[in-house]
């Protein structure tokens, strides 16, 4: 049986004095995708930030590869293989797409994916490789964030609103990438507005309502 990559147990979180998470629990194994659903983009952002400890006071347990990480910084989380992927997270806007992917990184966990393999998985990144990252279409920029995480050796991707504002062509590449990563044993935590387009890929789906997760 695949090992558990992420285990969240009785997690409470407070943001701006609001008790935002009220004891949520779930676990994700290698090769699984867990989808956290809520129609409000602001709520989804706060949910993902609570999971990784951004601007949040937390209680409970968040274990990555069996290491307790409740009080870890993002840098320490990256050392365990976690990468947070949002629209332009970690992207240097004045560098080209390819220059962003070629930046050196101290890999703490595993080895990174070769550049040519990235381009085979996401053809749009090859097409736009010389374009400054600032001018990439939103969907391609999001895929660049994921590609950069893969280059740096991450195996646990926390992905916010991946399909938001994507053209159908780019969305198809994104879904194909998710399918491939699952098959290769990556663990994916994805926020989305609804189960549309992702229900066939998701191993677990939860509705986030009033601070708690409910099976979808």
Secondary structure in 3-state letters for the chain: CCCEEEEEEEEEEEECCEEEEEEEEEEEECCCEEEEECCCHHHHHHHHHHHHCCCCEEEEEEEECCEECCCCCHHHHHHCCEEEECCCCCCCCCCEHHHHHHCCCCCCCCCCCCHHHHHHHCHHHHHCCCCEHHHCCHHHHHHHHHHHHHHCCCCEEEEECCCCCCCHHHHHHHHHHHHHHHHCCCEEEEEECCCCCCCCCCCEEEEEECCEEEEC
Please, which residues bridge with residue 214 across strands?
Answer: 207
Predicted local confidence at residue 106, as pLDDT: 54
- pTM > 0.75: yes or no: yes
Predicted local confidence at residue 96, as pLDDT: 97
* CATH number assigned to the domain covering 4-215: 3.40.50.300
26 within 8 A of 216, measured Cβ to Cβ: no
Predicted local confidence at residue 208, as pLDDT: 98
Residue 63 vs residues 60, 73, 181: alpha-carbon distances, Å:
10, 14, 21
Predicted local confidence at residue 174, as pLDDT: 97
Per-residue pLDDT of the chain (216 residues; tens, 9 = 90+): 789 999 999 999 998 889 999 999 999 999 999 999 999 999 999 999 999 999 889 999 999 999 999 999 999 999 999 999 998 788 999 999 999 999 876 555 557 899 999 999 999 999 999 999 999 998 999 999 999 999 999 999 999 999 988 999 999 999 999 999 999 999 999 999 988 888 899 999 999 999 999 987
104 within 8 A of 97, measured Cβ to Cβ: no
Please, which residues bridge with residue 11 across strands?
Answer: 24
Cα R_g (the chain), whole angstroms = 16
Q: How far separated are the first and last CA of the chain, in Å rounded?
A: 24
In angstroms, the CA 40 to CA 50 distance is 15
Q: Residue 136's closest CA among 176, 167, 105?
A: 167
In angstroms, the CA 21 to CA 28 distance is 18
Residue 162 burial by Cβ neighbours in a 10 Å radius (0-12, 13-18, 19+):
buried
Unique residue bearing structure tokens 């194994």: 29
In angstroms, the CA 148 to CA 35 distance is 21
Predicted local confidence at residue 82, as pLDDT: 97
Predicted local confidence at residue 127, as pLDDT: 97
């Amino acid at each position: 049986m695949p090992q558990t990559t992420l285990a969240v147990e009785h997690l409470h979180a407070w943001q701006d004095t609001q008790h935002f998470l009220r004891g949520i629990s779930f676990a994700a194994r290698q090769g699984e995708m867990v989808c956290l659903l809520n129609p409000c983009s602001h709520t989804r952002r706060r949910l993902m930030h609570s999971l990784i400890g951004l601007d949040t006071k937390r209680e409970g347990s968040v274990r990555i590869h069996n290491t307790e990480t409740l009080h870890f910084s993002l840098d320490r989380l990256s050392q365990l293989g976690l990468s947070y992927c949002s629209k332009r997270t970690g992207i240097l806007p004045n560098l080209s797409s390819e220059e962003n992917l070629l930046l050196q990184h101290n890999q703490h966990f595993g080895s990174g994916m070769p550049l040519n393999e990235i381009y085979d998985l996401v053809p749009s990144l090859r097409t736009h490789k010389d374009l400054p990252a600032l001018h990439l279409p939103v969907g391609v920029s999001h895929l660049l964030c994921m590609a950069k995480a893969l280059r740096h050796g991450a195996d646990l991707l926390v992905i916010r609103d991946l399909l938001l504002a994507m053209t159908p062509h780019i969305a198809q590449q994104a879904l194909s990438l998710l399918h491939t990563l699952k098959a290769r044993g990556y663990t994916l935590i994805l926020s989305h507005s609804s189960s549309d387009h992702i229900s066939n890929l998701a191993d677990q789906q939860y509705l986030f309502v009033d601070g708690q997760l409910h099976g979808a």
